[in-house]
Amino acid sequence: MKIGVLGAGAMGQLFGGRLQLSGNDVYFIDAAPATIQALNSRGITVESEGATSHTPVRAGTAADFTETLELIIVFTKSFHTEAAVGSVRHLISGTTFGLTLQNGLGNADILARAFTPERTLAGITDFTADLEQQGHIITGPGGKVRVGTWTGTTEPFLRRLVDILNKAGLNASAKEAIQEPIWEKLAFNAALNTLSAVTGQTVGQIGASAPARELVARVVDETIAVANTQGVHLSAERVDAALENAYLYAGEHKTSMLQDREARRRTEADYIGGAIVRLGEQSGVSAPVLNALTTLASAPIQ
């Protein structure tokens, strides 16, 4: 398949590298000259549980590519989605599908305007991706992908996509009611990402702290209450199981939001915790703990 990876950060490099290694034709689309140069000169190395795989890749800005793509997977930060998708409109035809595996809310709506709702796919992944250096990704065991169509129907393309992702070792499955896993991942990220950004703690340090665990539990409860107002009924047990799995197997991992804070970059807190707080306010449900953590995680670093 001819695939564009829009946003060649750590997660984009992990997915794009594995898709390239499994025989797909992957275009890495990014706006950062240093990232583009590094990928073109070094390729991508994926390291997992002591095993490494390497592949040369093609990277460039959106303007560097002209061929219509079959699939574009969006991995940009949520606050870049609108501009990023706009930059690749010349690569989208009437048969191109768009897929978002991003954190936060609102990204699929942006894709639906560009690709149409019928050709928009959304999903979640819990793979970790640590950027050792540009082109060298370290990932842990046990990751998975859950993906579905934005309109809620099962499309032939979705089944084909799941097969392609599985051939790339990305442990994918189709999910008809995709809003449930999206919100469960949202609860997971609202708790771990936001708290880690505020405290500077790794996933394992949060798991080892009773006060931190209490805050995590409060955020999960608040997120579930807001999700109920949107007609999405989450499984607290699945969210808790995902958190326990992260504490156990990704203890040394720094969340992406913590990495952004340490690099003095803008975080996605407003699109994760902030989005939950705003929906709660509209529905008359307060989320005071998450509101406080989001405010702190969004504060500029002097």
Q: Please report, for the domain that includes residue 73, its CATH number.
A: 3.40.50.720
Neighbours of 73 (CB within 10 A): 26
- Does residue 177 carry a pLDDT above 90? no
Asked which of 176, 200, 233 is the last residue of a domain, the reply is 176
> Could you give the CA distance from residue 33 to residue 236 in angstroms, rounded to a whole number?
42
What band does 285 get if pLDDT is binned at 50, 70 and 90? very high
127, 202: one domain: no
- Does residue 221 carry a pLDDT above 80? yes
pTM of the model: 0.89
> Could you give the CA distance from residue 116 to residue 8 in angstroms, rounded to a whole number?
24
29, 85: one domain: yes
223, 86: one domain: no
- Position 225 scores a pLDDT of 97
Render pLDDT for 1-45 as a digit per residue (tens, 0 to 9): 999 999 999 999 999 999 999 999 999 999 999 999 999 999 999
* Bigger pLDDT: 155 vs 24: 24
What band does 140 get if pLDDT is binned at 50, 70 and 90? confident
Asked which of 138, 154, 176 is the last residue of a domain, the reply is 176
36, 132: one domain: yes
134, 201: one domain: no
> Could you give the CA distance from residue 184 to residue 227 in angstroms, rounded to a whole number?
9
Burial class for 268, CB neighbours closer than 10 Å (0-12, 13-18, 19+): buried
Q: Please report, for the domain that includes residue 204, its CATH number.
A: 1.10.1040.10
6, 133: one domain: yes
CA-nearest of 214, 223, 199 to 274 is: 223
Domain that holds residue 23: 2-176
Asked which of 176, 200, 222 is the last residue of a domain, the reply is 176
131, 11: one domain: yes
Render pLDDT for 73-100 as a digit per residue (tens, 0 to 9): 999 999 999 999 999 999 999 999 999 9
165, 52: one domain: yes
